[in-house]
Structure 1
Amino acid sequence: MPCAALQGIARQTAGRAMQSHRSVHSASYAGGPSGFPRFLLFSTLHPTTAMTVTTTLFEQIDVDYIKAYKAKDSVRLTVLRLLKTAVKNRLVELKRPGGSLADEEMLDIIIKEGKQRQDSIDQFTAAGRTDLADKEAAELVILKEYLPKPLSAEELAALIDATVAEVGATSPKDMGKVISAIMAGHKGRVDGKALSEAVKKRLQP
């Protein structure tokens, strides 16, 4: 990879770190209830996280941020600080500064942050910078703790079959309908790229 491109990736990573220092450290946010399945949503949370039935992702991030700060867990603290900054920015975009986000809105942000880490991992690995790739990978592991448990290959195949029948898909031109239906009900549990490839294969004549 050209040196300039690698420097660009490094600047993006550094930019995230700089942005984290401007985040709000307050833990006084109030979250609202969500219809997202709680047993799935927190099935992979860090084992030290104390959960209650009414805890939302919005609230949990604050709780875990304070724990990471007290424990001086620098990697987790960086990830959660950046996540809190992304949440704050999203609230500003929605014209709800000082408000809260529902679990599904939080999932959108966490998934986006995870994709950024994965992109960096791929690029750093291609450039032979395993040290930087490992750093991004460690952050990705933490983000995944807040996502629902991924569907297994068998579960995904069964879901695709059921959805194909439900929406009446008969050819590759119906891929969009199948993918949209699955993503709408299984946010955070399905990788978009893997789903697209599986649906395409399923609808091949």
Structure 2
Amino acid sequence: MVETLDIEFLRADLQKLLRSSQVGIDRIQTIVQSLRKFSRLDESDYKTVDFHEGIESSLLFLGHRLNPNGDRPQITLIREYSNLPLVSCYPRQLNQAMMHILNNAIDALEEESVEEKILRISTSCIDEQWVRLCIADNGVGISEALQRQVFQPFFTTKLGKQHHNGLGLYVNYQIITEQHQGKLYCHSTPGQGTELIVEIPI
């Protein structure tokens, strides 16, 4: 029996298995590191952090929603990052807000029938004291009247509203404006898409 085994085949197969295992280990390590950065369990206080790290950690957890799966089409992600200084903030709370805003944008694209679904994330310095994050989708957008309500508690534009309590953007608004003395805007053009803009003092 031993004589009939293809040693070279087994050796090649073992190499593939080891490489595959290493890729899996590296992936797990990346997820664990990103989870720690995202949750900031050891950083409940005001800290100086890399703003982009929080965005990327959120995208790691939401990445599966950008890829095609069954009836769900591909969502094209466009990053337009500027060089930003470190930002002083409550990392856990700010990451929570960014995660929810990104999740909302993906929800909006999944509900719409636009042919090419695009999620655009851009960052910039407003001046020496402020940074800006823009999260934009190319969905059907919402009316001006609805834009005035999006940050109110219990308001939602999502389909299947019984599954949404309408508190997400309201909580995000409190995190950004009250905890961080920042600003949160909604700009939308019906038929063209919606953009949420976060401005945070450095």
TM-score by length of 2: 0.22
TM-score by length of 1: 0.22
Which structure carries more strand by proportion? 2
**Larger proportion of helix:** 1
Higher relative contact order (CA 8 A, sep 6+): 1
